[in-house]
Structure 1
Amino acid sequence: MSQKRKSGASVPRTTKSKYQPSAPSSTMTYVLGGVALLVVAALVIGGIWWSKRDKGEADQSALAASSTMIVGPENAPLIDIFEDPMCPVCKVFEQQSGAAITAAVKEGKLRVRYHTLNFLNSQSGPGDYSSRAAGALTCVAQERNTDLFLRFHSALFAAQPPEGSGNITSPELARMATEQGATPATAKCITDNEKVAEAEANAEKSSEELSKANNGRVGTPTVLHDGKPVQNLSGNAWLDEILDAKN
């Protein structure tokens, strides 16, 4: 591992992704007043949306392989959640639906594949926060501890830095993970940015599969249910409908 990734140092920027949004993100793009309108902004205006030519059906094996973490029993209803750690609407989505998703997973009623994207790197101070946060989640996922992952995932969005100049260093991310119960080995993995390259590769693959499933569009937050986009993420009615359909 290169010394350039030690102690929260800025990770060298990768080649510019083909999944760049058409215009820089702005908090005001998302915040239209109140949680309900905010979610509408995420879905109608797009939160973060951009287009790509690939269309068709997502490959389920590819979605599984590119996920940051898979939680919940195999026989439960399946959803894929796509988020960027710098996306303000993703933070709102976590605040709105995170507890209900966690409860359903713990009760064995839901299976979730989490996908961490990184196209908002440029909206952080050092220009690499999304990738490093994705790497931190990947380090935590190595422990194969569902409760730990869900706690850290929630804490990460609760501490989300502001767009434009915000940042959380890698040692600070490691400290957050430790506070949620991560091992010293996991903390070192995060501090040393050991999983950033893997997280970036998975973000690229996840974006490609989401584009296929969503008529050539990629955005955050997005939820797929059995490979198809959930159209309305307002409130938790969408989740209740998925869980009720199983019964």
Structure 2
Amino acid sequence: MSSRTAYLLGGVALVVIVLIVVYVMHSSSSKSLKVQEDGYGPVHDSAVSALLDSDGAIVLGKTNAAKTIDLYEDPLCPDCGSLEHYYGQQIAKNVDAGKLIVRYRFVNFLDSKSGTKDYSTRAIAASDCVASAGDGPTFSKFHQALFTTKQPSEEGGSLSNAELAAIAKDAGASQDVQQCIAKGDRVDEARDHAQAAMTALKDAAGQVQTPTVLDGGKNVDTEDSTWVTKLAG
């Protein structure tokens, strides 16, 4: 065997070993991660409102909360679904307690990955429809379902407007809100909001990557399982 061949085989073996180590470490960390405040569910307190901000953010919380964070998500993003699965209930509990206000900033860069090529935008429009009613618990329940049990797959998945409206109905949305979703009334507005969110995220973080949590414009390390606890104080 030539020395060159030996070097090549050695390099391949090294790459394989590194990949195995990374996989094992990732698997171990995933297994150790627990759902925070499991069983709490979405926001409960009727004093929590959901408001559409002028920049397109959906603001969930009580007006006197001590801390405001920005959470950037794409409705088709599987890592965003994981964030909601593991931390959504803990976030909801702290929103109910008046410790956190969450400004949800939705982006749509995964539109092309969906079966209809516009799912992210339509899901954002549906979220805008729900938030426009101002009911915090209803929006929280809708958002939780949208990013967990009802989230389509990143490769070719999608939900119709009628299916999105049905999720809103289950969350407690009014007939007017359901019609807003079913008719796609806010799709153009949602597209503008998504573009504004992507611009803001790129300016703040240097890239469009979801999920991203910002505290006062600074990145929050969501790999740290205590990140919500630290933010809520």
Q: TM-score, normalised by structure 2?
A: 0.76
Match of 1:117 in 2: 107
Match of 1:178 in 2: 169
- Once the two structures are TM-superposed, the CA of residue 65 in structure 1 deviates from its matched residue by 2.7
Secondary structure in structure 2 of the residue aligned to 1:161: coil
Q: Tell me the alpha carbon deviations over residues 135-170 of structure 1, each in whole angstroms, 9 at most, x when there is no partner.
A: 000000011011000000001012111122211100
CA distance in 1, matches of 2:181, 2:109: 20
Match of 1:219 in 2: 209
CA distance in 1, matches of 2:29, 2:211: 15
Give the gaps of 5 or more residues in structure 2.
Answer: 1-22, 32-51
Secondary structure in structure 2 of the residue aligned to 1:111: strand
Contact 2:75 2:123 in 1 (8 A): yes
Q: 1:71 aligns with which of 60, 67, 76?
A: 60
CA distance in 2, matches of 1:82, 1:74: 21
Q: 2:197 aligns with which of 206, 209, 215?
A: 206
CA distance in 1, matches of 2:28, 2:168: 28
**Structure 2 residue 94 is the aligned partner of structure 1 residue 108:** no
- Once the two structures are TM-superposed, the CA of residue 236 in structure 1 deviates from its matched residue by 3.7
**Structure 2 residue 121 is the aligned partner of structure 1 residue 153:** no
Match of 2:125 in 1: 135
Identity of aligned residues (%): 39
Any runs of at least 4 consecutive aligned residues in structure 1 with deviations exceeding 3 A, and if so which? 32-38
**1:7-22 matched pairs, under 5 angstroms:** none
Q: TM-score, normalised by structure 1?
A: 0.72
**Structure 2 residue 76 is the aligned partner of structure 1 residue 96:** no
Q: Tell me the alpha carbon deviations over residues 175-234 of structure 1, each in whole angstroms, 9 at most, x when there is no partner.
A: 1100110000000000011111111101111111111111x212100000012111x202
What's the RMSD between the two structures over aligned residues?
2.0
Give the gaps of 5 or more residues in structure 1.
Answer: 1-31, 39-62
Contact 2:56 2:196 in 1 (8 A): no
Secondary structure in structure 2 of the residue aligned to 1:240: helix
